[in-house]
Amino acid sequence: MQNMSERDAFAEMHATRLARLWAVERGLVFGRLDHTDEGRLYIGKLGLTDDEQHRLLIDWRAPVAQPFYRATPSAPMGVTRRRHLQTKGRDVVGVDDDLLDLDSLTDDDRATLNGEAALLAALDERRTGRMRDIVATIQSEQDRVIRSDLNGVLVVQGGPGTGKTVVALHRAAYLLYTHRQRLERRGVLILGPNLTFLRYIEQVLPSLGETDVLLSTVGELYPGVTATARERPEVAALKGDPRMADVIARAVRDRQKIPRQPIEVTLGRITLTIDRPMLEAARNKATRSRRPHNQARAVFVRSLLNALARQQARKIGKGLIDEEELADLREELRTEPAIKSALNRLWPYLTPQRLLLGLYGSPDRLGAAGSALTPEERRLLRREGSRAGEWTESDVPLLDEAAELLGEIDEHVLRASAMQAEEELAAARQAEQSEREAEIAYAREVLELTGLSDVVEAERLAERQRGDGPYLTTAERAAADRTWAYGHVIVDEAQELSPMAWRAVMRRCPTRSMTIVGDIAQTGSAAGARSWEEVLDPYVAGRWRQERLSVNYRTPVELMAVAARVLATIDPALRAPDSVREVDARPWAAPLTALPALVKAETDEGGKVAVVVPDALLATLGEQVAAAVPGTVVVSPGAARAKGAEALDAPVAVMSVTDAKGLEFDSVVVAEPDLIAAQSPRGPSDLYVALTRATQRLGVVHERPLSPALRDLPSRSPVPANGL
C-alpha cells in the first residue's frame, strides 16, 4: 500500500513536470547573456540542468537573469552582450544583439542601443484574441514592478496599454517562483474586471509554467453565487457605498428585534409567556457573547429556554429546581413545535442570501436598516419579487459582508444533518452495489449544506473522499472557501472596485501583501475610485508604495493622439502615456448607417475586430453587424466565461465598454462615441477606454454630432454597399 502511494506521488510529480514542460515549449529559450563573471548564460521560461547538474537554461525569474532586463550601456551589470533569440518551434529564426561592453562602442552606437528591435517585432504581431507572455521583452520599468518585494501593498498606476495587466501576471509568476513555499500553500488570487477578460489572460501563467493561481472577478468571489444580472449605475454606486456596511449590520440586528407584545405559548394545560424582560436578557447575553448572529443564536435560545423552564416549573407548582431538572425541562421545551416556531421568528437562522433578499423585498426592513439613507436611496434598493438567482456584481460584497456578521449556521445543526447523511452512507456501503451513488449523494448534501454546490462538483468531492481521485489544488480549495486567506492578492483594473468590494478583497488578504494595478483616468464605475489614497488609506494609510508605468505598448501614436484629446476633457491635468509605435492608418469617422459594411471591410483587412457600443444600442447594432459578418459574437452583459472565449475567438465581437475593459484588438470601431460619454457620470472615461483598445486601426461611427475632441477626424471614404 505504502509503495503504491509513493509510486502515485512520483507519477503525479512527473506528470506535473511534464505538463509544465509542454506548456513552455513555445519560446522556451529567448535570450543569452555574455557575462564577465558567469560566462555565457541562456535565459528561458524555466530552469534546466543536464545529468551532471550543469545549468543549461536559467529561469527568467532567477536573480542571475535580472541583467537581461535591466542592464544598460551605462549600468551593464557585468554583461558585455545581451542577445535576443527569436524561435519558431525548435529553430532559431533570428537574433538581435545589444552590445553593452562600452569600450568597444562608439558614442553613436551607444545612443542607439536599446534592444528595441525585439520589442517592436513583438508589438507589431497580429493579435490572437489571447494575451501572450512577454518574458523575452520585459522592459526595465516593468521589471522593477515584477521583482518588487512581496510584502506590503504595491500600486501600479499606468495609462492604457502600459502593460499593467501583463506585468501583474508576470509578477504573480515571479512571486510564486521566489516565495514558492509560502505562496503555494496560501495561493495567489488575481481579480479581473469581467469574465471575458479572465478568458483573455488565462493562458499567460500556464505558458510560464504556473497553474496554481485563482483567477476571479468580484462577482465570482462569493462561493455558490454567480452574479449575472446588471443594474443601473446609481444602484451599483449605492450598493458600493461604504454606508452599506452599516445598513447590513442594522439589517442583522433588525432580525433580533424584540416584539412589543408578549408571546403566549400553550403546552397542554399550561400557557407560557415569553415577555419583554426575558427576551431582553436573552438578547443581551447573545450580543455580549460577541459571536456572529447564527452562532449567538445558541446563547439566545439557551437563555430563553432556561427562563421558560423556570416559568414552567413555577406554573406546575415545582418551585425551585436544580440544574439537572432545569436541563431536562429545557430540552423538552426545545423540541416543542410551538416553541421552535417562536424561536425561529425571534432569532432566525439566516443565510446571507436570505438576509439580503428579505431586505430588498420589504420597505419596512429597508426603513429599519437604512435609516442613514435617504428615502430615494432606499427606493433604489427595493426589488420586487427578487429571486436568489438574480444577483448582481455589487450584491456580492454585500453578501460577503452579511456572511461575516451572520457566521456559519450553528455547527450542531450542520452536524446533525451530516451525521444523518453519514449513517445513510454507511448503510449504502453495506449494500455495496450502490456505493458510488451514495457517496455522491452524500457529497452533494455536504456541498448543499455548505452552500458550495455550484463551485466544486459533487463527483469530484466524492472522488477525493474515496482517496483515489486527484487532490484539489490550493486554488480550487481557496475558491470554495469564503474565508480563505490568500498569500498574495493582485487586483487588476482596480480603479473599478467600490469601497464595499474593497472590504471583501481586504478580508481575503489579512497580511496585506497585494499588487493593485489600474488607471484612475479609466474609472468607469460610478462606485469606482477617484484616487489611490481614497481607496487605500482606510486600510494601509501611509504604508503603501507606488510605481508608475509610462510607455504605451498597445496603442499607436496616431490613435493615442485622439484618445488624449478625450482624456483632456476629463481633466486637463491628466497625461496620456507615450506610445512607442507608429502605424500607417489614421483614425476615421463615418455615418452610423455604414457600420455593418465598414466592419465587413475591417475584417477583410485581417485581424480581430471589436465594435464597442453604448449599452442601449448593444442589441440593435449587434444584430446589424452579425447580419453583415458571419461569425460575429455579441457579448451580452454579465456573459459567462464560455461566451467570453467565443467573443475572443470570433473575427468580430460587439460589446459594451464594461466588457471591453482590459482587452485589445487589431481594429476597433466605436459606435456613437458621444452617447458612450453621456451614458453615465463616468462616461468620458468609458470613451477613453474604448478609444485605447486598438493595436492597429480605429474608427468611429455616429449619427449624433461629434464632440470637439473627435470632430476633426477625417471621413472614411464610402464603402461599396456590398462591403467589398
Ligand X SMILES: Nc1ncnc2c1ncn2[C@@H]1O[C@H](COP(=O)(O)OP(=O)(O)OP(=O)(O)O)[C@@H](O)[C@H]1O
Binding residues for ATP: 158-165
State how far the Cα of 33 lies from the Cα of 44, in Å rounded to an integer: 11
Contacts of ligand X in 83-102 (CB under 6 A): none
State how far the Cα of 183 lies from the Cα of 340, in Å rounded to an integer: 47
Binding mask 25-54 for ligand X (x = CB under 6 A): ------------------------------
161 touches ligand X by CB under 6 A:
yes
Distances (CA, A) of 277 to 258, 259, 273, 344, 502: 10, 11, 11, 19, 41
Q: Any idea what the Cα angle at residue 481 is, between residues 475 and 485, rounded to 5°? A: 75
Quick check: 499 and 525 in contact, CB under 8 A? no
Count the alpha carbons within 13 Å of 420 in the hemisphere toward its beta carbon. Answer: 7
Instruction: Give whichever of 377 and 496 is closer to ligand X, judged by the CB atom.
Output: 496
Stretch that binds ligand X, among 35-43, 153-161, 281-289, 470-478 (CB under 6 A): 153-161
Whole-number minimum distance, CB 125 to ligand X, in Å?
9
Q: Contacting ligand X (CB under 6 A), which of 67, 115, 163, 587?
A: 163
453 touches ligand X by CB under 6 A:
no
Tell me how crowded residue 542 is: count the other CB atoms within 10 A of its CB: 7
Whole-number minimum distance, CB 502 to ligand X, in Å?
19
Tell me how crowded residue 279 is: count the other CB atoms within 10 A of its CB: 22
State how far the Cα of 355 lies from the Cα of 252, in Å rounded to an integer: 7
Instruction: Give whichever of 383 and 554 is closer to ligand X, judged by the CB atom.
Output: 554
DSSP per-residue letters across 204-254: HHHHTT---EEEE-GGG-STT----B---HHHHHHHTSTHHHHHHHHHHHH
Q: What are phi and psi of 201, to 5 degrees?
A: -100, -10
Q: Contacting ligand X (CB under 6 A), which of 157, 312, 692, 696?
A: 692
Q: What are phi and psi of 533, to 5 degrees?
A: -60, -45
Stretch that binds ligand X, among 160-168, 356-364, 450-458, 672-680 (CB under 6 A): 160-168
Contacts of ligand X in 644-663 (CB under 6 A): 662
State how far the Cα of 244 lies from the Cα of 250, in Å rounded to an integer: 10
Instruction: Give whichever of 164 and 682 is closer to ligand X, judged by the CB atom.
Output: 164
Site size for ligand X, by CB under 6 A?
23
199 touches ligand X by CB under 6 A:
no
Q: Contacting ligand X (CB under 6 A), which of 254, 377, 602, 664?
A: 664
Q: Which residues contribute to the annotated binding site?
A: 158-165
For 9, the enclosing helix (H) or strand (E) is helix 2-23
Instruction: Give whichever of 199 and 554 is closer to ligand X, judged by the CB atom.
Output: 554
Q: Contacting ligand X (CB under 6 A), which of 24, 46, 68, 162?
A: 162
Nearest to 358 by CA among 334, 337, 380, 388: 388
Count the alpha carbons within 13 Å of 650 in the hemisphere toward its beta carbon. Answer: 23
160 touches ligand X by CB under 6 A:
yes
Stretch that binds ligand X, among 86-94, 131-139, 205-213, 506-514 (CB under 6 A): 131-139
Count the alpha carbons within 13 Å of 609 in the hemisphere toward its beta carbon. Answer: 25
Contacts of ligand X in 102-121 (CB under 6 A): 119
Instruction: Give whichever of 160 and 233 is closer to ligand X, judged by the CB atom.
Output: 160
673: which 3 cell numbers?
Answer: 462615441
Whole-number minimum distance, CB 205 to ligand X, in Å?
14
Q: Contacting ligand X (CB under 6 A), which of 21, 122, 298, 327?
A: 122
Q: Contacting ligand X (CB under 6 A), which of 123, 189, 403, 455?
A: 123
State how far the Cα of 200 lies from the Cα of 218, in Å rounded to an integer: 17
- Would you give the DSSP letter of residue 716? P
Quick check: 621 and 611 in contact, CB under 8 A? yes
Instruction: Give whichever of 164 and 297 is closer to ligand X, judged by the CB atom.
Output: 164
191 touches ligand X by CB under 6 A:
no
**CB-count exposure of residue 719 (10 Å: 0-12, 13-18, 19+):** middle
524 touches ligand X by CB under 6 A:
no
137 touches ligand X by CB under 6 A:
yes
139 touches ligand X by CB under 6 A:
yes
79: which 3 cell numbers?
Answer: 554583461
182: which 3 cell numbers?
Answer: 509560502
Sequence-distant (6+) residues with CB within 8 A of 354 are none
State how far the Cα of 2 lies from the Cα of 132, in Å rounded to an integer: 43
142 touches ligand X by CB under 6 A:
yes
Whole-number minimum distance, CB 536 to ligand X, in Å?
19
Binding mask 534-573 for ligand X (x = CB under 6 A): -------------------xx-------------------
State how far the Cα of 69 lies from the Cα of 55, in Å rounded to an integer: 20
Instruction: Give whichever of 125 and 604 is closer to ligand X, judged by the CB atom.
Output: 125
Stretch that binds ligand X, among 137-145, 147-155, 271-279, 369-377 (CB under 6 A): 137-145
497 touches ligand X by CB under 6 A:
no
Q: Contacting ligand X (CB under 6 A), which of 231, 241, 393, 519?
A: 519
Whole-number minimum distance, CB 671 to ligand X, in Å?
19
State how far the Cα of 57 lies from the Cα of 77, in Å rounded to an integer: 19
667 touches ligand X by CB under 6 A:
no
164 touches ligand X by CB under 6 A:
yes
Quick check: 169 and 201 in contact, CB under 8 A? yes
193 touches ligand X by CB under 6 A:
no
Instruction: Give whichever of 439 and 519 is closer to ligand X, judged by the CB atom.
Output: 519
Instruction: Give whichever of 162 and 636 is closer to ligand X, judged by the CB atom.
Output: 162
- Would you give the DSSP letter of residue 257? P
158 touches ligand X by CB under 6 A:
yes
Alpha helix ranges (H) inside 45-194: 67-70, 107-112, 116-124, 140-146, 164-178, 180-186
165 touches ligand X by CB under 6 A:
yes
Whole-number minimum distance, CB 662 to ligand X, in Å?
4
48: which 3 cell numbers?
Answer: 534546466
Q: Contacting ligand X (CB under 6 A), which of 166, 296, 462, 669?
A: 166
Radius of gyration of the chain (CA): 31
Instruction: Give whichever of 133 and 463 is closer to ligand X, judged by the CB atom.
Output: 133
Contacts with ligand X, residue ranges (CB under 6 A): 119, 122-123, 131, 134, 137-139, 142, 158, 160-166, 519, 553-554, 662, 664, 692
